[in-house]
Amino acid sequence: MLNSRKDRTHAFVGRARASTYPEGHPSGWYRLLDLDEMRPGDVRALDCLGKNLVVYRGRHDASYRVLDAHCPHQGASLAGGEVVGNELACPFHHWCFDGEGRLARIPNKDETRDKLPRVGVRSYPVREHHGMLWLYHDVSGQALAAPPYEPEVIEDIADGRLVYRGRHAPGDVQMHISEFVENSVDFQHFACVHGDLTIPWTQIKVPGFGVRHEPDWYVDADVPHKAYFSDKACLKFRGRAMPKSGAQARITLFGPGGTVWFRFSLPDLGDILLFQTHLPKRDLCQEVRFRWYADPKIPRLLVWYVVGHWISQWKADVEIWENKVFRERPVLIDLDGPVHRMRKWYAQFYEAAAAPAERAHRCLPIVDARG
Ligand code: FES
Ligand SMILES: [Fe+2]
């Protein structure tokens, strides 16, 4: 027997929902993993953004590299290979590729590097920031030599004013990446979905209490790939607003939603900064991760409360996201937010970079190097 809302709605997992969204994964920076998940010399397969990738960490320099996973020789998965120095050796015939994806050596082949077949695999631009590994993905699927912008370094994390306080891995969510940003302009849903006060980290309502929201949304005047959502919220008790309980949160939408971050400012104590990241595993499947930093003056319990409150609110949205479709022409009324403005902004992430700088060695489909 079907009882809860989740039971009643959690059924639409096929292609029909996916076909309502734009094709391809939008361009931007995406978090692949936390830097402490792999040690130097480790190799890992990663399926995301419509690609089969291999991530490895050099033994000598401990840097991360990301390549297409399949060997140009006979197609073995490099994820089964070994790291040799800063190169990756294929498990099949031990051809070695450098971090740029170029064939660097063939063991037992007594020739200079110039005589090696000029083949390789795609390598992707990656950066290591704030304890996470970031990859730039272009909607075309091609690997760009130079991404159009860099992942943002948050100053007060970089200089140690905010310190690492925790992370949370809720698992995969069956939604499209654009839904998080769509949600930020859906002003009508704040009262309907986020109007209850819940116990942090749960969906358990606190009787008598509610939350009043005053949302706003705007594009950064100087940086085209950034937009902001802000919310002036205050508690309500038995329907009456309690203005003294007011707090303001600002969320930075960085690119298409590969990462967004929340800054909560607590008077006399300092800031909490919470990253929320989305990595498209498949068309309607996001790996979601949270990671947070805080001013060391803020008691850990208070940090836990603030982050847990956000995650409760996020969970309330998930049930909707996991079953909805994309309406190209939604029926909007005056209670709705700036949906058209947001979509115009978001469209930039579906424009492929002009003339992607593919390196010549990536473009050789068949090479007979036997001479
Ligand atoms: S398939 Fe990779 S070296 Fe042969
Ligand atoms: Fe929401």
CATH of residue 317: 3.90.380.10
Taken in order 102, 108, 113, 114, the sign of the CA dihedral is negative
Neighbour count for residue 83 (Cβ, 10 Å): 19
Q: Residue 361's pLDDT band (boundaries 50, 70, 90)?
A: very low
Ligand 1, atom 4, lies closest to the CA of 93
Chain center to CA of 3:
33
pLDDT of residue 297: 96
Ligand 1, atom 3, lies closest to the CA of 93
Q: CATH number, domain at 45? A: 2.102.10.10
Higher pLDDT, 319 or 92: 92
Is a pLDDT exceeding 70 seen at residue 359? Answer: no
pLDDT of residue 356: 44
- Any idea what DSSP says for residue 37? G
Is 62 among the domain residues? yes
Per-residue pLDDT of 131-189, as tens digits, reads 999 999 999 988 888 999 999 999 999 999 999 999 999 999 999 999 999 999 999 99
Is a pLDDT exceeding 70 seen at residue 196? Answer: yes
Ligand 1 and 73: CB distance under 6 A: yes
Q: What are phi and psi of 33, to 5 degrees?
A: -165, 170
Cβ contact 101:363 at 8 Å: no
Per-residue pLDDT of 239-249, as tens digits, reads 888 877 777 78
Percent of residues, the chain, with pLDDT higher than 70? 90
Is 139 among the domain residues? yes
**300 and 170 within one domain:** yes
Q: Residue 357's pLDDT band (boundaries 50, 70, 90)?
A: very low
| Parent domain of 135 | 24-148+357-362
Is a pLDDT exceeding 90 seen at residue 2? Answer: no
Is 281 among the domain residues? yes
**166 and 141 within one domain:** no
Average pLDDT for the chain: 89
pLDDT of residue 308: 95
Is 7 among the domain residues? no
**79 and 172 within one domain:** no
**315 and 210 within one domain:** yes
Ligand 1 and 109: CB distance under 6 A: no
**29 and 139 within one domain:** yes
Strands 240-254 and 28-34: unpaired
pLDDT of residue 233: 82
What number is the average pLDDT over the span 40-54? 97
**138 and 238 within one domain:** no
Ligand 1 and 92: CB distance under 6 A: yes
**275 and 256 within one domain:** yes
Q: What is the pTM of this model?
A: 0.90
**83 and 176 within one domain:** no
Ligand 1 and 90: CB distance under 6 A: yes
Residue 242, CB-side half-sphere exposure with 13 Å CA sphere: 11
Is 1 among the domain residues? no
- Any idea what DSSP says for residue 143? P
Is a pLDDT exceeding 70 seen at residue 365? Answer: no
**87 and 183 within one domain:** no
**308 and 188 within one domain:** yes
pLDDT of residue 6: 59
Which of 43-47, 109-113, 253-257, 337-341 has the lowest average pLDDT?
Answer: 109-113
pLDDT of residue 246: 75
**168 and 258 within one domain:** yes
Ligand 1 and 97: CB distance under 6 A: no
* Count of structural domains, the chain: 2
Is 116 among the domain residues? yes
Ligand 1, atom 1, lies closest to the CA of 74
Cα–Cα distances in angstroms (integers) from residue 102 to residues 20, 141, 237, 276, 364, in the given order: 39, 19, 64, 34, 12
**189 and 126 within one domain:** no
Is 368 among the domain residues? no
Task: Give, for ligand 1, the residue of 70, 73, 367 to mutate: max count of ligand atoms closer than 8 Å to Cβ.
Answer: 73
Angstrom distance (rounded) from CA 48 to CA 30:
10
* Strands in the chain per DSSP E: 28-34, 43-48, 51-57, 64-68, 82-84, 87-89, 96-97, 103-105, 126-129, 132-137, 163-173, 196-198, 205-219, 226-237, 240-254, 259-266, 270-282, 285-294
What number is the average pLDDT over the span 187-213? 89
Angstrom distance (rounded) from CA 257 to CA 261:
10
Is 35 among the domain residues? yes
Ligand 1 and 96: CB distance under 6 A: no
